Amino acid sequence: MGQLRRNPINGQWVIVGGDSGSKSPEEFEGEKPVRDEKKNCPFCPGNESKTPLEILAYRSDGTGSWLTRVVPNLFPALQTEGELGKSGVGVYDRMNGVGAHEVVIEHSDHEKQLADLTDQDLEKVVWTYRDRIVDLARDKRFKYLLIFKNYGFSAGASLEHSHSQLIALPIVPKSVKEEIKGAEEYLEYRDRCVFCDMILQERREGLRLLDENKYFMSFCPFFSRFPFEVWIMPREHQADFGSIRKEESGSFAQLIRATLARMKKRLRDPSYNFMLHTVPLDGSGTDAYHWHLEIIPKLAQIAGFEWGTGFYINPTPPEDAVRWLKEVTV
């Protein structure tokens, strides 16, 4: 029999397991990443003219060649120029699509994905995220910054070369508000951070703990919505990713690489999405919230039941997911 499991952050319920038993890695179909020709790839060295003008780059000492590069998205969801122009149309409200949409080209090597990088190279990617968040936070039109990655065709990727994206929004998304509201209600009732309590319990029980180091831990949440969903979270209370310290960024990169390497080996290189959740730029929820990275392999489809109810059906309990992911060395 499956279980109903409640997310204490936002009150969302998840159905875990079921009468058919726990679904193993071998029961999910493998998928190859999106393929494109290296010579025509706009993200490869030598093809810099195929992207908009560079915003930021980390370069090799002495050679001048770039390792990590940030450019505006060629087809942005939001435009940097202009005013918000908020207005009402009867019962509706609207504003202009003002924001920022950037691409972080994570490495110059066309063949390497995040799971294949060294911890040192991935740390440069993490620090690039931090630098762009700190810079964009100065624009008072922006209320929220989201970093996300789509890997593989079914996850929404259109280019193979390893990259992630950053979008600055003029509003705080509803899902973020709901998460913060749930965390603040927990703090008011128990005088503790719900995320910190989750960390203590996961470390104490060890049933869903995947990896940990000095500053971070990775685990499959008790209320995992999807098979092999993994969260990476700082072990001490931190609400704003932009405040990550230099000595912490390497530890964060280490767990990102280890998690993605485990998924690549054990789940046959699945498509995946990851999203970095942090506090809004006005600092609301700082006492209650805890920034974290959510990694979701694309192994199950969202269908009518999920869309209609907000429930998720997860055929692989997180306790089994952790056990299977730990079977591979990284």
Catalytically active residues are 163
Whole-angstrom Cα Rg for the chain: 20
79 secondary structure, DSSP code: B
151: helix, coil or strand? strand
Residue 91's contacts (CB-CB under 8 Å, 6 or more residues apart) are none
Distance of CA 50 to the CA centre of its chain: 27
Residues 6+ apart with CB under 8 A from 140: none
Axis-axis angle for helices 318-325, 246-266 (nearest 10)? 90
Residue 12 has a CB neighbour count (10 Å cut-off) of: 18
Q: Give residue 71's identity as a one-letter amino acid code.
A: V
- Residue 144 DSSP symbol: E
Q: How far apart are CA 148 and CA 167, in angstroms?
A: 8
| Residue type for position 102 | E
Fill in the DSSP letter of residue 34. Answer: P
Contact 103, 165 (CB under 8 A): yes
Report the distance separating Cα 287 and Cα 285, nearest Å: 6
β-pair partners for 209:
219
- Cβ atoms 123, 248 nearer than 8 A: no
Q: How far apart are CA 162 and CA 164, in angstroms?
A: 7
Please give the single-letter amino acid code of residue 170.
Answer: P
